[in-house]
Amino acid sequence: MAREFTSVGVVGLGTMGAGIVEVFARNGIDVVAVEISEGALERGRANLTGSTDRAVARGKLAEADRDALLSRVDFQVGLDALHSVDLVIEAVPEHLDLKQRLFAELDGICRPEAILATNTSSLSVTEISVATGRPNQVIGIHFFNPAPVMKLVEVVRTVVTSAEVVADVEALCARLGKVDVTINDRAGFIANALLFGYLNHAVAMYESHYATREDIDAAMKLGCGLPMGPLALMDLIGLDTAYEILDTMYRRGGRDRRHAPVPLLKQMVTAGLLGRKSGRGFYTYERPGSPKVVPDERTPAATGPGLADGARAIAKVGVVGSGTMATGIIEVFAKAGYEVVSVTRGAEKSAKVCEAVKTSLNKGVVRGKLSEDDRDAALGRVTWSATLDHLADVDLVVEAVVEELSVKKALFASLDEICKPGVLLATTTSSLPVIDVAMATHRPADVVGLHFFNPAPVMPLVEIVRTIRTSEETAATARAVCAVLGKTGVVCADRSGFVVNALLFPYLNDAVRMLEASYSTADDIDHAMKLGCGYPMGPFELLDVVGLDVSLAIQRELYLELREPGFAPAPLLEHLVTAGYLGRKSGRGFRDHTNR
């Protein structure tokens, strides 16, 4: 039977420590809240009262419950106040020597049976535990920020943590209303190990001027449904904290270059650009601690790199292709008021595309998203054709044919002969080099990537891919078209994966490697990313939806282009695809979907 914790101590009352105090006090547990000085203690008290007052103002906490909560907290200066508690959790800065000194002191102060816990997000719990004479009673209890809101707790056991201590802490997490995942002591645990490789990669994109900070953040929010873009999230975490976590993961996690902090990150920390807490990081904030972003001198007037003010007039658009993406793009352009010429191979395919567009528009009417008049007007703007010759007078052509380079190059060579001068030629490829397609024409300056996301009528993002030959006028026109479509266009260079896939799929691959190493289960990894990071889906849920074969193909392309060892596809992913485990479409992937 799990032990009953009646009193706990919390050392360090910054944002995280005060949040942990609130979690325990909300659940009827007496807390001794400790700081090193009266000034720090008052700041900690202000953190707690500010949080609970906000909860009352928002109707999340009754005034009587707030008063009862605060009455359970005993604010004290000095560790001696912790002599009789059942459990101590430290939430001091992420420095190993500091935590080791603290635990050595706690070991001499706390009762012999007390559990000593660290809230570290990246340091070795084992190295912290050996500073005590009771390493079997030391454990990691990693809350996520803000602790009163976030449901996840990572319970980190070392090789000597007793099974009873683990069971007691797991039961405590349940009492607190938290979802715990229990894991071994490894750099980054689950959430940070997966999150910070992705964040570091995003910083590298920004450092190399591959895309703007706004476009990188918009791409991941709109393309993946994430609550925050990676650079805005780095500002929230704190660039100094992020640097320390990455550096620790690099040194402790096998020196994977993907965890080596990007040089820009170190420079920004040295310059005092720490994110929200200092008032400036990747973005500038109204004041230190404020979430409100204000323009700064580093924000160009244009939202994309090198965009010209002028854009060509686009009135008539050709769409080539007969698949789901093509039909979605036809619908998007027609609803936005463009005249559209749909070109497919043969009358039969043309009829199928027409029927698919009609069906989708009718669904919009049924759902109240579209009036009957708007539906009829959109259909009236579309001309159905089975020959490329009908594209002779359009202003923009968007191809959405099969993802084979030879097919696309042949198509663009034909378009080069048929289309009038000045026409924008766009490819919707999600993985092929746009420059290869562009060089199949004699007008590479007019060729651009327009990567729509599926389903095109619903997804708000379009990646605008510039090659080294794409003109500024072409890029500006593409962005203007996206605006008319009601889409957010993000501009990036012509590199494998563009923005979204280049950041998303290495993260998914890292999750597969974590499972492959038997570090955790697919369910716990999914829980960690959904509950700890606010992701809409866990990595294995997403892999099954996308398709393991598609994921493997994209990861291979990224590895072949960048030659980064950390991008090599996980062997487990290759083996599953070889065995026919493709995800939902095959009925089996990382989970069994046959009865769902």
pLDDT single digits (tens) 295-354: 876 544 333 333 445 789 999 999 999 999 999 999 999 999 999 999 999 888 999 999
CA distances from 17 to 81, 120, 217, 450 (A): 16, 11, 29, 46
pLDDT for the residue 301: 37
pLDDT for the residue 593: 82
d(CA 516, CA 528): 17
Q: Comparing C-alpha atoms, which of 590, 592, 591 is closest to residue 516?
A: 590
pLDDT for the residue 308: 46
Q: In what order do the strands lie in the sheet with 424-427?
A: 382-385, 339-343, 316-320, 396-399, 424-427, 447-452, 461-466, 488-493
Cα dihedral 230, 231, 235, 237, rounded to 10, equals 20
d(CA 488, CA 368): 23
Residues of the chain with pLDDT under 50: 299-308
DSSP state of 192: H
- Looking at the chain, the whole-number percentage of residues with pLDDT higher than 90 is 86
CA distances from 419 to 385, 388, 423, 507 (A): 15, 9, 7, 41
Q: Answer whether 118's CB lies under 8 Å from 99's CB.
A: yes
338-361 pLDDT, tens digit per residue, is: 999 999 998 889 999 999 999 999
pLDDT for the residue 595: 67
Give the type of residue at 289. G
In the chain, the domains with their CATH numbers are: 7-184 (3.40.50.720), 191-294 (1.10.1040.10), 316-493 (3.40.50.720), 500-586 (1.10.1040.10)
pTM comes to 0.89
Catalytic residues: 121, 142, 154, 192
d(CA 494, CA 472): 14
Q: Answer whether 353's CB lies under 8 Å from 327's CB.
A: yes
pLDDT for the residue 310: 73
- Looking at the chain, the whole-number percentage of residues with pLDDT higher than 70 is 97
pLDDT for the residue 299: 47
d(CA 518, CA 525): 11
Q: Answer whether 306's CB lies under 8 Å from 475's CB.
A: yes
